[in-house]
Amino acid sequence: MSSKAKFRQAGLVTVEFALIGSVFFLVLFAIIEMGRFLFTWNVLDEVTRRAARLAAVCPMDQVDNVRQAAVFNSSILSGLTPENVNIQYLDQAFTPTDTLEQVLYVQTNIQDFQYQLLIPLLPLEPFDASSFTTTLPSESLGITPAGAWTVQCTGA
């Protein structure tokens, strides 16, 4: 191959790399973003599960401590605070109640938390996390006989 032919193809490698590289990096960043999304999904699911479990065994007047304990160790998820965890005590008809004797279920969900994807090419709306809900049957609600084992209802 003559030096003239090599000179004409010198920029071809750069153009090929630009085309192939852009597709490669787009796929790579999409995989990373999918991993971030699944991680966030699992953290939100775990927070509602943990909050429901603690609310089922802790006294009803310690809701703030239950929220704090549910979000504890989940601080790696940016923007998730104890205020994002909603706890409701439900009666037999699954309607909210404040009467201890009527509580049969505890329901927790995530409220006012938005997850924004970081993919710059797609103008996607933030993901609404209000669909994460856990409902459990109430257990002791903090009422234990004297001398029985009790649950720590704090987040520290």
Tell me the residue length of the chain: 156
Q: Rounded CA gap, 92 and 54, in Å?
A: 20
Contacts of 62 (CB under 8 A, 6+ apart): 142, 153
Nearest to 109 by CA among 91, 92, 93, 87: 87
Model pLDDT for residues 14-52, shown as the tens digit of each residue: 888 899 999 999 899 889 988 988 998 999 999 999 999
What's the pLDDT at 54?
Answer: 93
Report d(CA 15, CA 45) in Å as an integer. Answer: 45
The pLDDT tens digits for 100-146 are 899 999 999 999 888 877 776 666 677 777 789 999 999 888 887 66
pLDDT of residue 21: 93
